[in-house]
């Protein structure tokens, strides 16, 4: 399980990515010509916004 540091939060968030999600990420990043790390950053942002709302 990879640990990814979210720079904005200054803490580690551990999360699981299954293969189909990874494939979707790849497709999105290829289509939009953005890096995989940028896609992950967006996911973390959405996840964090969800945590704040909860």
Looking at the structure of the chain, the number of domains it has is: 1
Residue 43 clears pLDDT 50, i.e. is over it: yes
* Rounded Cα–Cα distance for residues 43 and 19 (Å): 16
54: Cβ contacts below 8 Å, ≥ 6 apart:
none
26, two tokens: 């790849």
Residue 46 clears pLDDT 70, i.e. is over it: yes
**Model pLDDT for residues 1-39, shown as the tens digit of each residue:** 455 555 544 444 445 556 677 777 777 767 777 677 777
| Confidence (pLDDT) at 17 | 58
Find the domain containing 30 and state its range: 3-53
Residue 50 clears pLDDT 70, i.e. is over it: yes
pTM for this prediction = 0.34
């Amino acid at each position: 399980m990879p640990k990814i540091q979210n720079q904005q939060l200054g803490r580690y968030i551990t999360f699981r990515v299954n293969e189909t999600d990874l494939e979707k990420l790849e497709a999105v990043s290829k289509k939009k010509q953005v890096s995989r790390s940028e896609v992950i950053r967006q996911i973390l942002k959405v996840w964090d916004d969800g945590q704040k709302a909860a």
